[in-house]
Amino acid sequence: QVQLVESGGGSVQAGDSLTLSCVASGRAFSRDTMGWFRQGRGEDREFVAAISFGAGRSVHADSVQDRFTISGDSAKNTIYLQMTNLKPEDTARYYCAADIATHGQLGRFVGGGYNYIGQGTQVTVSS
């Protein structure tokens, strides 16, 4: 059974930093795409960032470019999201997800496609 478990969320002030972690178990994702989505209260789930272990590339949403950085360790089945200069509009539940359907391509994940998703971790940024 595949599980994705996120950690690292919390309540911070605007301008602070947080690092989220996601550990996957149940299968290896060494050639797949993993990443993060977020969903604010009353909003649709949106793409944040993704990393392709297969292609060795990553991509970030425009809204977080230059503030958030995704990284990962395929050997540990773990990804991270370093978030800096947090803003109140970053307040959301952050979900780790994995796409095994496209063998490391990023497009499907960026478009909201995934095969597995975790329970999420809450990030709250106050002004």
**pLDDT tens for residues 72-99?**
999 999 999 999 999 999 999 999 999 9
Give the pLDDT mean for 23-31.
Answer: 94
Q: Record the tokens describing residue 42, joined without a space.
A: 């009353």
pLDDT band at 102; cut points 50, 70, 90? confident
Place of tokens 């290896």: 28
Quote the CA–CA distance of 8 and 91 in Å, as a whole number. 14
